[in-house]
Amino acid sequence: MRIEKQVINMHNVYNHNAPKKPTNLSINSDLLAKAKHLKINLSAALETALEAKVRLSAREKWLKENKKALASLNELAENDGLFSDTYRDL
């Protein structure tokens, strides 16, 4: 797999143009009744919540997979500084 395909665009964690798919869910009946009473769009609410969960899980996975590299970069910066340090106004 090419590197470009492995990178997750954190702004678009899923294809917004993908077709909708009917799904059966089990939801607390009282919560469902209150949501319907308040005219909450269940599909939109679920998509919003699920997108946030997917985004968070993808971020955590990326951080875990790149933990060693990030630690190495942080150690390098601490030991040797950053290239941009010479351009900082102190």
Q: Tell me the average pLDDT across 45-71.
A: 94
Please give the tally of structural domains in the chain: 1
Which residues does 46 contact at the CB level (< 8 Å), separation at least 6? Answer: 25
Higher-confidence residue: 17 or 35? 35
Q: What is the pTM of this model?
A: 0.67
Residue 13 lies in a domain: no
Residue 41 lies in a domain: yes
Neighbours of 18 (CB within 10 A): 7
Higher-confidence residue: 12 or 39? 39
Which domain, by its residues, includes 77? Answer: 3-8+28-87
Comparing C-alpha atoms, which of 24, 22, 7, 13 is closest to residue 48? 13
| Euclidean distance between CA atoms 57 and 45, whole angstroms | 18
Name which of 8-12, 22-26, 52-56, 67-71 the model is least confident about.
8-12
Q: Tell me the average pLDDT across 26-48.
A: 97
Residue 69 lies in a domain: yes
| pLDDT given at position 9 | 55
